[in-house]
Amino acid sequence: MRAGHLSIKVRDAKIEELGSATQTEEVFCAAKIEDFGKLYTETRPMKEPISWQDDEELTFNCTPADPQGPPRTLQLMLYKQLPDPNEHCLLGMGSISLEGLEEGANKRDIEVPLVNAIGKNNGLITATCHFFPSRCPGKSRDQLGREILDPILVARSGEEKEYQPTDVDNGLRPEELLPVG
């Protein structure tokens, strides 16, 4: 996988435990890519169907994958929110390889089977993954709009051109560059 942004839109989830759920119970979904963190959806009522149709995106900023390393995987987990806001219970989790996502349409609908803590298949999460390649990995902007260059990411991406910082990179704002008078 090249450098870029991976957007995940969780659409819905089906889980066996819904039969015993009360009206006040809620669930949320988590997405995790190793080395890039874990992101969470908003909670939804634990009733059939569990749906996230409001364009809630979970976006990961990905660096280039190591060609000799294993392919990256996306883990999706479904949690039940417990009465204490800081506690939750894992209902099921599953994973899918991201290999080949950047080829072709860069977008794919996925279905990830969920397995509970004792290894039993107990549900399914459907989502859409969309990969947006970065034109220049290693280049980004800070809060003031100054360009930042990460030499390690640039070297890994194969864009090892000689970099010449500009006045904007050196922290000068365009209005400071104008002649006074």
Question: What is the full DSSP assignment across 75-133?
Answer: EEEEEEEPSSTT-EEEEEEEEEE-TTTTSTTSEEEEEEEEE-TTS-EEEEEEEEEEEEE
- Domain 4-133, architecture per CATH: Sandwich (2.60)
Domains of the chain: which residue ranges? 4-133, 139-177
The pLDDT tens digits for 34-61 are 888 899 999 888 877 788 876 678 888 7
Q: How far apart are alpha carbons 79 and 31 in whole angstroms?
A: 11
Residue 1: closest CA among 101, 68, 132: 101
Q: How far apart are alpha carbons 125 and 113 in whole angstroms?
A: 7
The pLDDT tens digits for 120-156 are 888 899 999 888 776 665 566 555 666 666 666 556 5
Residue 111 has pLDDT above 80, yes or no: yes
Phi-psi region of 133 (alpha: psi -120 to 50; beta: other; left: phi over 0): beta
pTM above 0.85, yes or no: no
Phi-psi region of 90 (alpha: psi -120 to 50; beta: other; left: phi over 0): beta
| pLDDT number for residue 64 | 72
pLDDT band of residue 177 (cuts 50, 70, 90) is very low
98 or 145: whose pLDDT is higher? 98
Lookup: tokens for 79: 């949690």
Average pLDDT, the chain: 76
How many Cβ atoms from other residues are within 10 Å of residue 98's Cβ?
21
Lookup: tokens for 133: 């390649």
How many Cβ atoms from other residues are within 10 Å of residue 123's Cβ?
21
